[in-house]
Structures are given as C-alpha cells and as structure tokens.
Structure 1
Amino acid sequence: MPESLILDADAALWSVEPADVAGRHLLLLLHGYGADEHDLYGLRAYLPETLAVVSLAAPLTPPWPMPGRSWYPIDGLDGRDPSHVTAAAQAVIEWVDAHAPGAASVGLLGFSQGGAVSLQALRLEPRRFAYAVNLSGYVTPGGLPRDAELAEAKPPVFWGRGTHDDVIPAALVEHTTQWLPDHVDLSGRVYPGLTHSVSEQELADVHVFLEKRLTDAAPPPSSDDAGDRP
C-alpha cells in the first residue's frame, strides 16, 4: 500500500477567502499530470460566478524532466496502480474535511489524472460530494467497498472527452464507458477532433451542468412568501 498523502494547503488557490467558504457551494479543481494548481484556475471565467472555487496542488513530483505535479505515478511497475489513485483521492477527502467543513456542498472537477482522482473520491465517499466533472479522465479499474452505495445514490457526473485523445489508453476509456452508467447519473459529450485537452464548447457544456447543480441545490420557495398568504 502507498504511504498516506497530504496536500499542501498553502499551495491551494482560492477564488474567495477560505474563511468565507462556509455556506457556499464549493468546486474543487484537480489538475492533470505535469501541471499544477495554476493550470485549471484560469477556467474560473467559464464557471458559474456564484461558485466558490479552489484549485488544489497534487502531492507528488513526476520523474525528471516532467515539470509540475502528479496525483499518482503513471510510469514504472506501479504506474496507474489503483491503490495510488485511491491514496490521492483519500488525500483530497481529508483536505476537504480540514479546510472546507462548512461548505454548503462540494463538487469536483478534474482533468485527466485529476478526473480519475475526482471519480475515485466520489467512490470513496458517495454522499460527501454533490457531483463530479471528469474531463479526459477515467474510472480506475477494480472494486471499492462503497461502489454499491454509489450506484444507489447515483450522483450527477459529467464526462467529456475528445475523439482524438490518444493519451488515455483505449481499455480505460472502454472500462469507463461501461462502468459509469451503472453507478452515476451520467451526462456528457464526445467532442469531434478534440485531443487530450479542453475546448470552449466543452466548457460551455460544463457551465450548463454546473448551473443545473446549483439550481437543484437551491432551497424551494418559502410558503411564507407574501404572495402565498391568504
């Protein structure tokens, strides 16, 4: 088993003051392999303004000469070992418990490795996260103890990927295609011509997905409104 991982809280980039996240809907951004916390933070302009956003830094350094950070190894004998993906997801959960316990809801948005970690975190804590956005990522093979609970809860998941993405192995794409519909409320799109990247059309679709999540989370109108009184 891999050692426990701890995320660098000082590296996280917040769109609001951390003390102001209580009662807000929070979206966690999880970058891809070789990137860092700055990579997805620039997507804030494409996201609903009412969301509080925090971009996390992965805990590992990839082998030289790859720059940036990584959530788990993808090279060597333990490359893409499911236990390493689980360790990264557990570190994300522990970060949320420590730094955002008062958030009204917590959603996950990850690219590539970050997408895989987001889905793994959802599997570890099916009722802790409101939804997940998986961009060019995949579901890690192998069962987890709460997969049946996830299938019962069926949280919303958006999965976007490109037809020309040659980074994620075909076997993992096929596994994800088969696995997700049985365990989550799946929506998404395959983008013609898109490589291992994110397009403006995809971000527009993500915006619609996130707005729907915020609408679903809004409290119903109060029966005490003046217009409802006899």
Structure 2
Amino acid sequence: MNANDDQVTIDDDAVVWSVATEEISERLAEQPLVVVMHGRGSHENDLAQLFPFLPAGCVYASLRAPLSGAPYGMGGFTWFTASGAHGPERASVDDAVAAVIAWLGRAEGRFGAPPAIAALGFSQGGMMSVELMRAAPHRLAAAVNLSGASAHGPVGGDEVLTERRPPLFWGRDAADPIIDAAAIARTEEFVPGHFDVTARLYPGIAHSISREELVEVSAFLSEALRLDGSVD
C-alpha cells in the first residue's frame, strides 16, 4: 500500500482497471483513460460495476479514496476529512486532488500516456471530478459529476476553465437527500461560467445512479472524448 499516515496518497495496488494489467499499455496507446471515483464511505469496487454500461472505447480505472472512513464513524474510504460550514475544507480537497494527479503521473509512467483523460465520480467522487478539472484544466478533457457538487473557494485553474469551458456532465435528483441546498446553489453558480455543462435531473433516484442516467453519461463521454473518431 502506498499511503502512510503523513501523506494523502492513492494506493496503486487497490486500483480496479477495466482491462487486464497486461493490456493496459496497448489500450492506452489508442484509447482515453477515464478516472472513476466512488462516494464517501465506499470503495474502489463500487463504481467498477458501472464499467459494462459505459463506452467500450475507453480504459477505466476505479480508485480507492485515500482516507479511511473509520475516524468518521463509517466503513470504506473517504476523499476528504470532516466537512466545515461550507462543505469539505479547501486544504483537504486540494490534498485529495493532488493525490489523484500524482497517481496519474505514476500510471502514465508505467503504462504510457493516453490520448485523453476524463474524470467520472459519484457524490464525493463527483466533487473530485469537478475539482480535478479546476486544478489541472490542461490535463483533463471532460468530467462527469453524478450527484455531487463543487467545492468552495477559488482554484488556480479557474481562469483557464473560463477560457476553455471543457464539457461537464452533471446529473442529479433535485430532491437528493444528501447534497444540501447550499452546495447545489454554489455549483449552479460556478459551473456555467467555467464549463460547457450538460445538466440533467432524474426525479426519483434520490442519491443514486439510474440506468437512464448511464445511457446519457455514455453518450456524453462518447461525444466529449470523440470516440466516434471525429476531430475539430
């Protein structure tokens, strides 16, 4: 395991890939990489169950969040420490984002750089998808935020995002019982000025992911990552 008590680090050995290890380099030479991030209190095998419902023309890597949920009275893993009045503390978000970016560097060093990278996450993982784009706007081509929000506070890449406006899919239930109204309002204010947003509401899914949503996510990724071979 890579992580230790003093450093927020992604465990390379815990990553669940959509293809066999011996195939990763060959596939990434031609296919985009989608970094998949679970929600609070879950684990890397959770969203890996979605791989069969997502476009076949990508390589997927489902990461384990770097922090144990035990100190917060839950099982599984979490991306951030306990939240403050405005959601996760900025420093904790930045640490988690830096850990994923460092993992990307290690993965590219081992398997080679893919033609494009996207991020997909649920709940806390959805926030991570948005925040990865904010921190590394030139490294990621697109993001999928499922039942998540953006974090508070400015980020260095925000100005670049206003110019690039990369594609972002934001799917949720307006009656989501987990994500509070202040987080939704903050996200509704932030994302339109920084992303080309595809926003979808799915009544009745609460804090979950539906098959209908996955169909639209697949279409979004196919277009955003140009899986049909189209170019500008």
Task: Show the counterpart of 2:3.
Answer: none
Tell me if 1:175 matches 2:186.
yes
Structure 1 residues 37-186: aligned runs within 5 Å: 37-62=44-69, 63=71, 65-75=73-83, 80-100=88-108, 101-186=112-197
- Give 2:9's match in structure 1, choosing from 6, 10, 21: 6
Task: Show the counterpart of 1:227.
Answer: none
Secondary structure, counterpart of 1:188 in structure 2: strand
Query: More displaced, 142-151 or 211-220?
Result: 211-220
Cα RMSD (Å): 2.2
Unaligned runs of 5+ in 1: 222-230
Mark the structure with the bigger radius of gyration. Answer: 1
- Residue pair 2:38, 2:122 contacting (<8 A) in 1 also: yes
Task: Show the counterpart of 1:211.
Answer: 222
Compute the displacement of 1:49 (Å): 0.7
Compute the displacement of 1:93 (Å): 0.8
- Give 1:191's match in structure 2, choosing from 187, 194, 202: 202
Residues 192-227 of structure 1: per-residue CA shift (max 9 Å, x gap): 122111111111110110111232783659xxxxxx
Change (3 A) 1:217 1:102: farther
Q: Percent identity?
A: 38
Structure-2-length-normalised TM-score: 0.88
Change (3 A) 1:64 1:72: closer
Change (3 A) 1:186 1:78: closer
Task: Show the counterpart of 2:32.
Answer: 25
Structure-1-length-normalised TM-score: 0.89
Q: What is the number of residues matched between the two proteins?
A: 220
Compute the displacement of 1:110 (Å): 0.5
- Residue pair 1:89, 1:117 contacting (<8 A) in 2 also: yes
Q: Separation in 1 of the partners of 2:226 and 2:211? A: 23
Residues 73-107 of structure 1: per-residue CA shift (max 9 Å, x gap): 23579961121111101111111111035111110
Residues 52-71 of structure 1: per-residue CA shift (max 9 Å, x gap): 11100110001264111110
- Residue pair 1:116, 1:140 contacting (<8 A) in 2 also: yes
- Residue pair 1:30, 1:56 contacting (<8 A) in 2 also: yes
Q: Separation in 2 of the partners of 1:78 and 1:174? A: 12
Residues 108-166 of structure 1: per-residue CA shift (max 9 Å, x gap): 00101111111111001111001000001111011112211111111100000112211
Compute the displacement of 1:41 (Å): 0.2
Change (3 A) 1:182 1:78: closer
